[in-house]
Chain A
Amino acid sequence: MMKRRIAIIPPSLRKYRRTIIMLSIIALTVVALASIVLAQGPFPYLPPSSTENANPGPIAHPVFPILDTDGNNVLDTGNPMSTIKTCGSCHDAEFIATHSFHADMGMANMTFPGQVKNGHPWDTSPGPYGKWSPLTYRYLTPGGDGTFDLGTASWVQLFGPRHVGGGPAATDVDGTPLPQVSVTGTDPTTHVLDENGNITTWDWSKSGVEEMNCFLCHLPSPNTNARNFMLETGKFKWANTATLFGSGIVNISADGTYEWNPNAFDADGNLLPRYTKMRDPGDDACGLCHGDVYADASTTVTINGEPGHNTATTGEIFSPQRINVSGLNVAGKTSLDRAFDIHAERAVNCVDCHPSQNNPAYFRGNPDNQLSHLIFDARRMDVGAYLKEPSHEFAKGKTTQGIDDPETNNSMRDCEGCHDPYVAHDWLPYKTSHFNSLSCQSCHIPHLYAPAIQQVDWTVIGIDGNGKKVYRGINGKLDDPASLITGFVPSLAMEKQFKEDEVVSPFNMISSWYWVAGDPVRPVRQMDLKAAYLDGDHYRSDVLAVFDSNGDGALSESELRIDTPEKESLIKQNLQALGLSNPHIVAETQPYDISHDVTNSDFAVKDCTVCHSKNSRLDQPMTLASYVPGGVVPAIFGSENVANSGEIITNDDGTLAFKPDLAKEGLYIFGHSSVWWIDWLGILSFLGVLAGVSLHGGLRYYFALKTPPPHHKLKRVYMYDVYERLWHWLQALAILLLVFTGLIIHKPDMFGMFAFPNVVSVHNVLGFLLLANALLALFYNLASGEIRQYIPQPRGYFNQMMVQAQFYMNGIFKGAEHPFEKTKNRKLNPLQQITYFGLLNVLLPLQVITGTLIWGMQHWPQFDEALGGLPVLAPIHSLIAWLFASFIVMHMYLTTTGHTPLAGIKSMIEGWDEVEVPNGEPRHIEATSAKKDNTEEA
């Protein structure tokens, strides 16, 4: 044993023996203990603990205290919160509030009535604070106006639910906080109209102001009901605090306002982390004001009563849900296996296309300032600076009814900012032509699947004091879930959608009728309308006497409309009795751009004949109104481009419609467009020739029966070379097929069995074949000198022509000889010469050139546009095609005028012709110089 131990520890270390042994024992013990501990650890079958993968996840918003307007913690004061102070402790809340149209609502651009571009004579700003809309009707009275409708405080009460706060809810036009604005006269900023119609002062100190409400968009599930209640009841300063109600941060207090829940805060007075779930605004946040927007696919899409604003005006529903599983009773929904909006479905959120303008992730910069050699411009705000001063001007397009602000118009990426249409439309011929004249929306928003407003009628009011609204796209009442939603096909009109040039774009048209009165003219106040129509909660007896045609004491839908002069004059009198001067009905039709509810290729318009046919989608009229109050026909409001691209027509049944007239805008749609007189001229020439040759042929037949033609002595001549024959038949077949395919393209409805795009490509190929054949023939004729045959000789030519004409008019019936001998070197008689000269030197080149130019719309559109574009080129091409068709008839007939009817055709096939041997009579041409070896006796 000793020996072995000695062997283990080398002699040199023997003096440390004890230490080594002790250390070994300790080490062994540790190992043993560790193995026991480890053995107790994860059991062999157990998966690795999921906490090993634990990941903090996306960065959360830091905690913060909630402050009141004095900057004190609300826990100490119990005051309502100030978003400007609370969020302003880190973000530049003042910057945000002053860089946001959502807060400003047009106040910054406020001007005098009548000076707003594309506005009503009484509009005072380009935004909802000052721009009157027949949909909301109430009018924000400008200072100094004679009749008082809405003061600022009433505006906030009424329209505040669709306003984020700040702007007019916090300051006056000059930026003075509202409680500090001095009360003067009946200034609408500090006055309101009470329910009795008296102008009273509004105590802004008592109501407080509504600061821009950060939480409305940045807090998940804000309480809009509580907020709206505070706004409606005039407790403006509590509106933002009310937004938090239900989250656990505030509770309702005894006086109907709110008190802070101390349990939601930590010892330092900061909100606990579970309450600070600030976020990028989700789609649902935008949907609070902008329409029916759904953030997820699992929430069933429904319509209960009036849809949200943008849904009501356009029929757009922004939801990733598929229509066939939605809660809407949509006609044919089982086949609608598509999301309401493809971008919603593909997780593209509102803020992805409408980001903050200085968001560095989306920043694009002003295109005018871009350096041409840079693909990516790194000169942009860094994230820290952005979080401090995020502009709340959001990237947007430009809509006809939206705010027209040169600085923000088209600041968002258009479709082509993300998509390359050339890559995605492999199947589409003439891509450039299509993309230059159509917006992407025209095909990719083929149908809206929700009801939208069609007609607003404020010339009458219901018992509830509101005007009537008629929706399109629904059979039945809005609030009846059994009503069938048919949706509607948008109307197409020309507008500048992101582009310099106008393109075909989809719209919903909303027509409105309302009374205006006074000088300067103003819409008649709702209050006055009520007085003119109602007596408390029922109609005035004089109104019933005129309107209630069936005498049942109630006014039905069809009775409550101004459709007779009696009704109109009664209301006019009643309004005049209220002191209104010159009340009269006016009307307008507002086009609302449709740009959501986009679908992908599966449901987009792909069938060419949708547009390229007689009933082209491009000029389908959209019904505007089922009746016309007061007989006043509206005019397009807000967009000259739309107004110019169609006209409002009255149908025979008294309904109104907007009929696009795209020809007016320079669009020529193959298969749809045509110039009537060109077609008639063409048909007449074709039929004329047909009739002429029939008559001529009939006469020939008649005379031939009467007097059998004398037998002329014939000889066989080798008339046509192989190349000439090949050229001729190639040309003949190509032209026949071109005329035929061209006819299909011109009138596809008549040839439904042919696929339009295929016919177009065949026509193009044939065209180039014809061109190549013609060029080769030109070369042949030039090189061989044969070209001379086509050139009439000036001397005596007219006489020769007359001789030939006389032959056709007279001699031919009597079996006379052909006046000009046909030889290898002189195949054409004088009439043929002039005809072919025109055909081959004028018509054919013209047809080839116009055809090539039409094809060239795809390749050099600017050049074509300079020549007048399709509206000029296409009719010329059609006319020449008609002339060609006529020529073919004539030509085919004249081939029968040889010594036998089929001799001409036979010779063009075989090359050998049988020509009359001159029988001694003087001929009108020089002696033939035909080579001897080309002739033989027949």
Chain B
Amino acid sequence: MKNSKYIWVYGLAVTLLIIIIPIVIFAKPNDNVKKDDPWVHVTPTPVHTDHSVLMTGPYETAQDVTHACLQCHPDAAKEVQQTTHWTWLSKPVYVPERGGEYQLGKKNAINNFCIGITPNWPACTTCHVGYGWKDANFDFSENNQDSVDCLACHDNTGVYKKTKAGYPDDSVDLVAAAQSVGTPNRGNCGMCHFNGGGGNRVKHGDLDQSLLFPDKELDVHMGGYDFQCVTCHTTEHHDIRGKSISVSLDSLAAENQVACTDCHSETPHEDERINEHTDTVACQTCHIPEMARKESTKIYWDWSQAGHDLPESVHEYLKIKGSFTYEKNLVPEYRWYNETSYRYLAGDKIDPTKPTPMNYPKGDIHDPTAKIWPFKVHRGKQPYDTEYKYFLLPKTFGEGGYWTDFNWDQAFRLGAEANNLPYSGHYDFAPTEMYWPTTHMVAPKEDALQCVDCHSETGRLDWVALGYPGDPIEFGGREVSTQTVNQEGAK
């Protein structure tokens, strides 16, 4: 019994183990295991090298700045030139309903805002990521690398400003801008994307200058967690992820898209009833209950009213553009959407008695890949050729343009020449509509739609128009057969 000196240690250890093990096994508190952590998927923005000692200047022209950038980043301009930010035109895409390959981009698209960029380049190309696109002769090739506008995206002074043909405004201090360069922030993207359609908040409804300094209620990502655009729109070799059916022909569900499910699980809700919805309802549908929550957005633009000497008001009537309607807290319209769309191309015939969709989301209740999405629908009236039955692309900006002379006939002739689309000499105005899927301005979860916002007599979804016999809470949801899935897959 000489070894009994430490017996109390063994004894205590055994006794404690006998007591603790059952407690740990049987009395462990209920921990709610967290399902998935979206932060895992968020790449932190890297710290940017301070360029103030590298970019000493002086720079005479904006191209000089780019030239300096390319000294250290020799591939940067070439990379940018591959992207649609430079080309304003997609690669050829097969369009099933047309049976051929087509290219579409801001370069040749027609919409129901300012209609088309040709031959209004200097005004429209203010937002081109280059310098000097003022006519049809702009050089898009690699010989013109110095004309890539690095500062548009990388200036961090916050006062960089582009003007006609994409040149920086005279007020810009090029040295200060060059020294400030960093990761693009909301201001860089917003300079063009908040101001689409001719000014702040015109086009998207879910993108406007209120997102420069958003609160959490406006945008839970940008306001709640200070996301920048590029936090989600991640970029490789200057190719920025994300696209919209406003200027795309191909499927958006392809690899280049940004989706909620990049970070969030497909079924992130605690309530299984809500998770049941995610096969049929896009996240955006419930989580963006209203758009334009801080600033109203344009929902109607009637070009036929232009040219009158009426009292002007930027959001109601302008002589050069016609009459408008703006709406704040706009409730979206809801359509089936499989992330592909029909697209009006210049020269397509129209039926002027009916509203012509400039684009239209594809998909219906029988399409298993389609979900119910929220859209801003911008409606308007715009000129068409009464003989050829297609929409006309007027010259609005510059010499002889409508905004200068208020002469439609002349504007159409000049536009027709530049676009190589004959004009008969007869025109009128036809109704149009354009669909903008809503995806920004995600509200905090507390503000998401509730059951009764859709499932009630006064609910916001028109079930019958969506193809249901009635409210699916009473009539049952859609049943998509596997046969349909296979057919879709075969396509």
Contacts and interface: CB of A to CB of B under 8 A. Distances in A.
B451 A345 contact: yes
Given A729-B11, A765-B26, A769-B18, A47 B452 contact: no
A764 interface: yes
Nearest to B8: A909
B98 interface: yes
B450 A339 contact: yes
Nearest to B360: A47
A55 B464 contact: yes
Contact of A58 (B351, B362, B470): B470
A762 B457 contact: no
A337 interface: yes
Given A43-B348, A322-B446, A427-B30, A345 B357 contact: no
B312 interface: no
Contact of A910 (B4, B12, B97, B457): B4
B294 interface: no
Contact of B27 (A55, A220, A761): A761
B29 A320 contact: no
Contact of B365 (A53, A279, A282, A729): A53
Contacts of B469: 55, 57-58
Interface residues of A, number: 53
Contacts of A345: 450-452
Contacts of A298: 453, 458
A762 B20 CA distance: 10
Nearest to B25: A765
B310 interface: no
Contacts of A729: 11-12, 15
Nearest to A731: B15
A758 B27 contact: yes
Contacts of B12: 729
Contact of B4 (A320, A762, A912): A912
B239 interface: no
Q: Which of B19, B465, B468 has the most CB of A within 10 A?
A: B19
B19 A769 contact: yes
A551 interface: no
A46 interface: yes
A47 to B, nearest CB: 4
Interface residues of B, number: 54
A54 B360 CA distance: 18
A584 B286 CA distance: 61
B22 interface: yes
Contact of B29 (A282, A734, A758, A911): A758
B333 to A, nearest CB: 12
A521 B453 CA distance: 53
Nearest to A912: B1
Point out which of A45, A296, A729 has the most chain B C-beta atoms below 10 A from its C-beta.
A45
Given A46-B357, A755-B29, A909-B7, A769 B22 contact: yes
B464 A57 contact: yes
A909 B470 contact: no
Nearest to A54: B464
A211 to B, nearest CB: 26
Nearest to B12: A729
Contacts of A44: 97-98, 348
Contacts of A757: 29
A57 B350 contact: no
Interface stretch (B116-124, B142-150, B176-184, B338-346): B338-346
Nearest to A59: B470
A45 B446 contact: no
A346 B16 CA distance: 50
A678 interface: no
A782 interface: no
A346 B468 contact: no
A469 interface: no
A589 B29 CA distance: 44
A545 interface: no
Contacts of B349: 43
Given A55-B464, A57-B464, A730 B98 contact: no
Interface in A38-56: 43-48, 50, 53-56
Interface in A388-428: 426-427
A726 interface: yes
Interface string B191-229: 000000000000000000000000000000000000000
Given A320-B450, A765-B27, A45 B343 contact: yes
A470 B469 CA distance: 50
A418 B284 CA distance: 31
Contacts of A426: 30
Given A43-B350, A339-B450, A726-B14, A57 B470 contact: yes
A494 interface: no
Contacts of A295: 456-458
B473 interface: yes
Contacts of B23: 762, 765-766
Contacts of B85: none
Nearest to A727: B15
A733 B465 CA distance: 72
Nearest to A55: B464
A737 B345 CA distance: 80
Interface in A260-294: 279, 282
Nearest to A324: B446
A347 interface: yes
A45 B97 contact: yes
Nearest to B363: A47
A528 B143 CA distance: 104
A338 B11 CA distance: 55
Interface string A726-769: 10011001100100000000000000000101100110111011
A757 B29 CA distance: 8
A915 interface: no
B11 A909 contact: yes
B19 A297 contact: no
Given A337-B446, A766-B19, A347 B11 contact: no
Contacts of B458: 295-296, 298
B58 interface: no
A345 B463 CA distance: 19
B364 interface: yes
B319 interface: no
B464 A45 contact: no
Nearest to B351: A43
B465 A50 contact: yes
B92 interface: no
B247 to A, nearest CB: 14
Interface in A333-389: 337, 339, 344-347
B464 A346 contact: no
A651 to B, nearest CB: 40
Nearest to B95: A44
Contact of B342 (A46, A344, A346, A726): A46
Given A46-B360, A909-B8, A737 B464 contact: no
Nearest to A40: B349
B102 to A, nearest CB: 10
B362 A347 contact: no
A730 B18 contact: yes
Top 7 A-B residue pairs of the complex, sorted by shortest distance between their CB atoms: A761-B27, A47-B360, A57-B464, A347-B455, A320-B452, A58-B470, A296-B458
Given A296-B458, A347-B473, A758-B29, 6 more contacts: A45-B344, A46-B357, A57-B463, A57-B464, A345-B451, A725-B11
30 contacts: A44-B348, A45-B344, A45-B345, A45-B357, A45-B360, A46-B342, A46-B360, A47-B357, A47-B360, A50-B465, A53-B364, A55-B464, A55-B467, A55-B468, A220-B457, A295-B457, A297-B453, A339-B450, A345-B451, A345-B452, A346-B451, A729-B15, A733-B19, A757-B29, A765-B23, A766-B23, A909-B8, A910-B7, A911-B1, A912-B4
Interface of A: 43-48, 50, 53-58, 220, 279, 282, 295-298, 320, 322, 324, 337, 339, 344-347, 426-427, 718, 725-726, 729-730, 733-734, 737, 755, 757-758, 761-762, 764-766, 768-769, 909-912
